[in-house]
Structure 1
Amino acid sequence: MKRIPVLAGVGIAAALAVFTAAAPASASPAQGPNPWLPTSPSHTVVREGLPLQPHLSAPYVDVTEVGDLADLSQASGSKYLSLAFLQTEAAGSCTPYWAGDTTKPVSADVYGSQFNRIRARGGDVIPSFGGYSADTTNTDIADSCTDVHQIALAYENVFSVYKVHRIDLDVEADSITNQAGIDRRNQAIAEVERWGAAHHWNVSFSYTLPSTPQGLAASGIAVLQSAAKYHASIADVNVMTFDYWDGATHNMLTDAETAATALTTQLKQTILPHASPRALWHTVGIVQMNGIDDYGPEETFPLDQAAPLVKWASAHGVQTMSFWALQRDNGGCPGTAGSNTCSGVAQPTWAFSKAFAAFDSWRY
Structure 2
Amino acid sequence: MRRSGPVRALLAASAAAAVSAGLVVAAGGAAQAAPAFRAPMPAHVVAPYYETYSGGSPAALAAQSHNTYLTLAFLQTPTAGSCTATWNGDPTTPVSTSVYGKDIAALQARGGNAIPSFGGYAADTTNTDIADSCTDVKSIASVYEGLVTTYGVTRIDLDVEADSLSNTAGIDRRNKAVALTEAWAKRTHRSVEFSYTLPSTTTGLGATGVALLQNAVANHARVDVVNIMTFDYYDGASHEMATDTETAAAGLHDQLAALYPKVPSSRLWSRIGVTEMPGIDDFGPAETFTPADAVTVERWAAAKKINTLSFWALQRDNGTCPGTTGAGACSGVAQPDWYFSNTFEKFTHPDWPWVSPRSTTPAPKPAAHHATRGIRM
- Normalised TM-score (structure 2): 0.85
Q: Check if 1:267 corresponds to 2:267.
A: no
Task: Render the CA deviation track for 1:66-91: whole Å, top value 9, x for unaligned.
Answer: 41111111100111100000000010
Q: Secondary structure at the match of 1:357?
A: helix
Unaligned runs of 5+ in 2: 1-14, 352-370, 372-377
Q: Is the CA contact (8 Å cut-off) linking 1:170 and 1:209 kept in structure 2?
A: yes
Separation in 1, partners of 2:91, 2:62 = 25
Q: Is the CA contact (8 Å cut-off) linking 1:45 and 1:108 kept in structure 2?
A: no
Separation in 1, partners of 2:127, 2:252 = 27
**Which residue in 2 is equivalent to 1:350?**
338
Distance verdict in 2 for CA 1:140–1:21, change over 3 Å: farther
**Which residue in 2 is equivalent to 1:304?**
292
Structure 2 residue identity aligned to 1:229: A
Q: Check if 1:322 corresponds to 2:310.
A: yes
**Deviation for aligned residue 1:18:** 9.1
Q: Check if 1:228 corresponds to 2:200.
A: no
Q: Is the CA contact (8 Å cut-off) linking 1:55 and 1:362 kept in structure 2?
A: no
- In the comparison of the two structures, how many residue pairs are matched? 336
**Which residue in 1 is equivalent to 2:185?**
196
Alignment of 1:1-364 (within 5 A): 20=19, 39-42=29-32, 46-270=35-259, 272-362=260-350
Q: Is the CA contact (8 Å cut-off) linking 1:92 and 1:145 kept in structure 2?
A: yes
**Which residue in 2 is equivalent to 1:3?**
none
Q: Is the CA contact (8 Å cut-off) linking 1:252 and 1:300 kept in structure 2?
A: yes
Q: Is the CA contact (8 Å cut-off) linking 1:46 and 1:112 kept in structure 2?
A: no
Q: Secondary structure at the match of 1:310?
A: helix
Q: Is the CA contact (8 Å cut-off) linking 1:97 and 1:105 kept in structure 2?
A: yes
Q: CA RMSD in A?
A: 2.1
Task: Render the CA deviation track for 1:158-215: whole Å, top value 9, x for unaligned.
Answer: 1111111110000001101111100110000001011110111111100000000000
Separation in 2, partners of 1:338, 1:279 = 34
Separation in 2, partners of 1:305, 1:19 = 51
Q: Is the CA contact (8 Å cut-off) linking 2:197 and 2:229 kept in structure 1?
A: yes
Separation in 2, partners of 1:183, 1:37 = 29
Q: Is the CA contact (8 Å cut-off) linking 2:39 and 2:191 kept in structure 1?
A: no
Q: Is the CA contact (8 Å cut-off) linking 1:58 and 1:321 kept in structure 2?
A: yes
Unaligned runs of 5+ in 1: 1-15, 23-33
Task: Render the CA deviation track for 1:223-266: whole Å, top value 9, x for unaligned.
Answer: 10000000000000001000001111111000000010111111
Structure 1 residue identity aligned to 2:128: T
Q: Is the CA contact (8 Å cut-off) linking 1:58 and 1:82 kept in structure 2?
A: yes
Q: Secondary structure at the match of 1:256?
A: helix
**Which residue in 1 is equivalent to 2:360?**
none
Q: Secondary structure at the match of 2:72?
A: strand
Separation in 2, partners of 1:39, 1:278 = 47
- Normalised TM-score (structure 1): 0.88
Separation in 1, partners of 2:55, 2:317 = 12
Structure 2 residue identity aligned to 1:313: A
Structure 1 residue identity aligned to 2:242: L
**Deviation for aligned residue 1:65:** 1.6
Distance verdict in 2 for CA 1:19–1:80, change over 3 Å: farther
**Deviation for aligned residue 1:317:** 1.1
Distance verdict in 2 for CA 1:335–1:104, change over 3 Å: same
Write out the 4+ residue segments of structure 1 that deviate beyond 6 Å after TM superposition: 16-19, 34-38
Separation in 2, partners of 1:305, 1:76 = 19
Q: Is the CA contact (8 Å cut-off) linking 1:19 and 1:160 kept in structure 2?
A: no
Q: Secondary structure at the match of 1:122?
A: coil
Distance verdict in 2 for CA 1:278–1:177, change over 3 Å: same
Structure 2 residue identity aligned to 1:246: D
Distance verdict in 2 for CA 1:261–1:348, change over 3 Å: same
Separation in 1, partners of 2:312, 2:150 = 26
Separation in 2, partners of 1:129, 1:358 = 27
Separation in 1, partners of 2:203, 2:115 = 27
Structure 2 residue identity aligned to 1:325: A
